[in-house]
């Protein structure tokens, strides 16, 4: 499928094309030849050659000396680390995340909602935790993850409908919610409780407890979760997970400047 530049008078077209090249390589997650890039972007090789050479010279792309194929360069990693280091929620949350890992001895995730998907911006694992197929920078669907459902719960209903229409409600396990009306009821339940539970909805035998994080304006800007095997997150340990995750979310929110209105709880539901 060809990637075409959108007509926007405020854009510098060569810069837009260069950024589209980076997006293309990131989306494909593999090395690509000049011909493949030209075909995907529906651009002549002569136009692309100068763009690729410039991106390579500045370190945003690397070119194989053996087959001439292009991959994302180390400069992007360096800039990504600068962005991450200055991402307030990540900085504020870091010590609280480690404390939660120490208390629960399970995997802890910190995520944001980006383009209708869950984007993992931090992850910590304990020594005994189940190895979960997730990593910083990874994206997962929102409708079948605890953190995703928390973030959906505090969006305007019209935005939730738009995300469902765009992303769909794919089934991952027999427990995945694939009916929009069931999801709507689930989100209402989450708002009332102040936390969400993923009961084997993205992965069999995996349970997650997630809570919303609010910024200084009271807007839900991120979510935090504890994830582990169902056998370890039930009964009293499940209740402990709920208590610790909601407490940690409230502490991070306070660190971001959120102050709940008098008479409301820290969840701000």
Q: What pLDDT score was predicted for residue 97?
A: 95
Confidence label for 64 from pLDDT (cuts 50, 70 and 90): very high
- Segments making up each domain of the chain, as ranges: 13-79, 86-256
* DSSP track, 198-215: EESSSSTTEEEEEEEEE-
Nearest Cα neighbor of 89 from 192, 198, 217, 196 is 217
Reported residue count of the chain is 269
CB-count exposure of residue 263 (10 Å: 0-12, 13-18, 19+): exposed
User: In this model, does residue 16 exceed pLDDT 80?
Assistant: yes
What number is the average pLDDT over the span 101-127? Answer: 91
Lowest pLDDT segment from 18-22, 103-107, 259-263 = 259-263
Q: In this predicted model, what pLDDT tens digit does every residue of 120-129 receive, in sequence order?
A: 999 888 776 5
Q: What pLDDT score was predicted for residue 106?
A: 92
Nearest Cα neighbor of 208 from 225, 187, 190 is 225
Note the pTM of the prediction, 2 decimals.
0.70
What number is the average pLDDT over the span 79-87? Answer: 70
Residue entry with tokens 């340990």: 237
Collapsed DSSP state (helix, strand, coil) of residue 57: helix
Give the whole-angstrom CA distance, residue 137 versus residue 76: 13
What number is the average pLDDT over the span 36-63? Answer: 94
Domain 13-79 bears CATH identifier 1.10.10.10: yes
Query: Helix and strand tally (H, E) in the chain?
Result: 9, 8
Lowest pLDDT segment from 39-48, 84-93, 186-195 = 84-93
| DSSP letter (8 states) at residue 134 | -
Asked if 101 and 62 count as a contact pair (C-beta separation under 8 A), the reply is: no
**Backbone phi and psi for residue 231, each to the nearest 5 degrees, phi listed first:** -65, -25
Which residues have CB under 8 Å from 264's CB, separation 6+?
none
Domain spanning 86-256 has what CATH number? 3.30.450.40
Terminal-residue alpha carbon distance, the chain: 42
Asked if 101 and 126 count as a contact pair (C-beta separation under 8 A), the reply is: yes
Give the whole-angstrom CA distance, residue 211 versus residue 224: 6
Give the whole-angstrom CA distance, residue 253 versus residue 259: 8
User: In this model, does residue 221 exceed pLDDT 70?
Assistant: yes
What does pLDDT average to over the chain?
Answer: 89
What number is the average pLDDT over the span 123-137? Answer: 71
Give the whole-angstrom CA distance, residue 12 versus residue 181: 44
């Amino acid at each position: 499928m060809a990637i075409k530049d959108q007509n926007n008078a405020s854009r510098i077209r060569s810069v837009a094309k260069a950024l589209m090249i980076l997006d293309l390589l990131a989306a494909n997650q593999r090395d690509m030849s000049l011909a493949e890039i030209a075909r995907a972007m529906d651009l002549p090789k002569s136009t692309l050659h100068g763009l690729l050479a410039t991106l390579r010279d500045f370190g945003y792309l690397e070119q194989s000396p053996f087959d001439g194929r292009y991959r994302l360069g180390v400069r992007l990693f360096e800039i990504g680390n600068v962005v991450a280091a200055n991402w307030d929620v990540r900085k504020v949350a870091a010590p609280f995340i480690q404390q939660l890992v120490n208390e629960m001895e399970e995997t802890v995730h910190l995520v944001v909602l980006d383009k209708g998907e869950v984007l993992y911006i931090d992850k910590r694992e304990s020594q005994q935790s189940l190895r979960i197929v997730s990593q910083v920078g990874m994206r997962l669907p929102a409708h079948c993850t605890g953190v995703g459902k928390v973030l959906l719960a505090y969006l305007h209903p019209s935005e939730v409908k738009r995300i469902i229409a765009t992303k769909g409600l794919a089934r991952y396990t027999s427990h995945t919610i694939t009916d929009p009306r069931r999801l709507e009821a689930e989100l209402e339940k989450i708002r009332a409780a102040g936390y969400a539970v993923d009961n084997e909805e993205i992965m069999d035998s995996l349970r997650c407890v997630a809570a919303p994080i609010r910024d200084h304006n009271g807007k839900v800007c991120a979510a935090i979760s504890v994830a582990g095997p169902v056998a370890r997150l039930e009964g009293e340990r499940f209740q402990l997970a709920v208590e610790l995750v909601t407490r940690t979310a409230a502490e991070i929110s306070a660190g971001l400047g959120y102050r709940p209105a008098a008479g409301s709880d820290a969840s701000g539901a």
